[in-house]
Amino acid sequence: FTTLASAQQRDYFVPRPSLQKYVVILAGAAVEEEYKKQINSWALLLHDILSRNYRYEADQIVLLMDQADPADARIYGSSRAENIRDELRALKEVVNPGDQIFIFLLGHGTSNEEGAKFVIPGADITARDLAVMLDTFSEQDIVLVNATSSSYPFCQLLSGPGRVIVSATRSGAEKYDTVFAEFFINII
């Protein structure tokens, strides 16, 4: 009850002079080499647009992708589960109440009776895993864009006060590679 009461008293997505915005871009895994290249291309393009057009500084964007060019300063490392957890923990240390966090999942997702997953190198991240990680950001506003296949089941577990969840699919049964990211990135 107290969490619900405090959530109802808080103003969400209200611009303030001290407001900071942060971005986490997660480029997942794919079976087909061509789709892997497309995912990485979207991730890098999104990073560049946010830096150039929206003036995000390097320390405000975390980009994790597999098969990363070690010389590319935009990429923090692989999108493995432990790196995602570590980067979200590090972000938690710098955000303030009311700050905004934008999270982009690019790649492939799966869904079955056991739940939905974001496919990454190594062990995949489930919607439940991600929900637990994001629960630590109760004082920040979160926009999560899940541009993966089978992304809709993430909505129920990730939804909550101060959150906007965007899904590329309308059900967990939509398991084909999506092109949602391409069109989303083109409009920002």
pTM exceeds 0.85: yes
Q: How confident is the model at residue 11 (pLDDT cuts 50, 70, 90)?
A: confident
- Over residues 60-95, the pLDDT tens digits come to 999 999 866 778 999 999 999 999 999 999 999 999
pLDDT digits (tens, 9 = 90+) for 18-30: 899 999 999 999 8
50, 132 contact by CB (below 8 A): no
Query: In sequence order, what E strands does the chain have?
Result: 21-27, 61-65, 100-106, 109-112, 115-118, 125-126, 141-146, 163-167
